[in-house]
Amino acid sequence: MTGNETSLSKGGHPNSGRRCQICTGCGLCPGVLQQETEGLRILTRQMLGEHGKGLRNVDGLRLVAADVGTTTIAMELYDENGTVQDRFVCVNPQTEFGADVLSRIQAAQDPQKKEKMFQMIRSAFARGAERFLKWLREGEQMVCVIAANTVMSYLMMDWDPKELGQAPFHASRLTGARFAIEGSDGKGMQCLLLPGFSAFVGSDLLAGAYASGMTESRQMTLLLDLGTNGEILLGNKEEILATATAAGPAFEGGVNRGIWGADLVKLMARLLEEGAADETGLLKDPYFERGIRIGNVMLTQESIRSLQLAKAAIKAGIRILVEQKGITLHEIDRVILAGGFGYFLNPGDAVQIGLLPSELETRAIAGGNTALAGAKQIGAGILNRAFWGRESLWTHECPVRVINLAEQAHFPEYYMEAMNFRMA
């Protein structure tokens, strides 16, 4: 055993580096816990509702759902029974201009870079559409419903995102948009970009709210979509609170590219249990300078600090929304962990490092890609004419209140209190 290894290395960490970063809930990745898989099945049954019983062709239309994230792009083509017929997934090519939305906003101030980012997204959609063409029957055309964070929406439509990156962080284009992707032999794809809520709470959260059943249920639901941007919803059919906080690259393996976010949480929980790191996140000697090897990955002090900052922001954001809602943690009925990070996250590990309050551990289930699932649900409604003619996809019976954490007086205090790795 070398100077930067511990007993935690025994057996290695079998899933590190073997997962895609795009969770569609397909269940094909290794290491999925049985209870997580079952939770996803339950959520999927709830998700579709009356409009998802069949995606019957309307005037020869075929449904495609898409989720455009800062890091990844996922598209799915469905048959008339709502079954996934094909998938197209890729890394968002805009990562060339930075790993987070603020980097993209800054890059977009150069007209040539802005144009290139626009073309990159459209080219990715064109590749997806071209892949799906082989499944179309004569006379059929694809309709793609797109969920995306607000910055990605702006760049997809070639809008200037400058206003999203400076106070007061106002978003003037939140109503959604339509565009077309030209395909070979005249078979293109009509696209509907869903509306968003604010500069940092986009249509991916609108779709997530539909997918989680928050728009139709009285159950108090907490939805956590933890990627480069940490987005949080709390509420039910009566009212939903929405917020977002900068999580950085920690949940997507940005600092340690060989460790996916859920694995990083698990490894951190083990370090705390073994006493190799203290609650302040400090690695003990002799690991502080060189890091600590666990299996085939190296956990560094830098990656621990990245996780620490991200989890403190999420924990503080949850606390603010709970206070704004006027409830206690015990009144939250369900916690849905969305995205690839949530699909593999063990709630016990999340509680161990202080990412989730301990009161919520037994109520957490994996939700998979709720943005993609919600886009499918909304698309099913469109094809079944349930949403045709609506000016807004959001029902008046379910108002949404966006909370800007920067304007909350207690957020800095809660953030600092959540910094340590401890259960609370």
Q: List the domains of the chain with CATH numbers.
A: 7-21+214-369+403-417 (3.30.420), 34-209+371-390 (3.30.420.480)
Please give the average per-residue pLDDT across 99-125, as a whole number.
Answer: 95
Compute the C-alpha angle 315/291/7, nearest 5°.
95
Position 384 confidence tier, pLDDT thresholds 50, 70, 90: low
Compute the C-alpha angle 255/99/319, nearest 5°.
75
Spell out where 150-197 has E strands. Answer: 177-181, 189-193
Question: Would you give the DSSP letter of residue 166?
Answer: S
Distances, alpha carbon 416 to alpha carbons 60, 313, 317, 420, in Å:
55, 9, 12, 8
Helix, strand, coil shares of the chain, percent, nearest 5, are 40, 20, 40
Which candidate, 183, 74, 68, 76, places its Cα nearest to that of 133? Answer: 183
pLDDT in tens, 192-202: 999 888 898 89
Contacts of residue 36, defined as CB under 8 A and 6 or more positions apart, other chains included, come to 343, 344, 365, 366
pLDDT of residue 33: 28
pLDDT of residue 35: 35
Amino acid residing at 404: N
Phi and psi at residue 368, in whole multiples of 5°?
A: 65, -155
pTM of the model: 0.82
Q: CA-CA distance, 75 to 277, in Å (whole number)? A: 40
pLDDT of residue 312: 92
Q: CA-CA distance, 75 to 360, in Å (whole number)? A: 32
Position 137 confidence tier, pLDDT thresholds 50, 70, 90: confident
Helix (H, G, I), strand (E, B) or coil at 15: coil
Q: Hey, CA dihedral for 348, 354, 355, 356, is it positive or negative?
A: positive
Distances, alpha carbon 291 to alpha carbons 3, 44, 269, in Å:
10, 40, 16
- CA quadruple 225, 226, 232, 236: dihedral, nearest 10: 30
Position 408 confidence tier, pLDDT thresholds 50, 70, 90: very high
- pLDDT above 70 covers a percentage of the chain that reads 78
Which residue bears the tokens 């800054």? 106
pLDDT of residue 287: 83
Please give the average per-residue pLDDT across 251-273, as a whole number.
Answer: 75
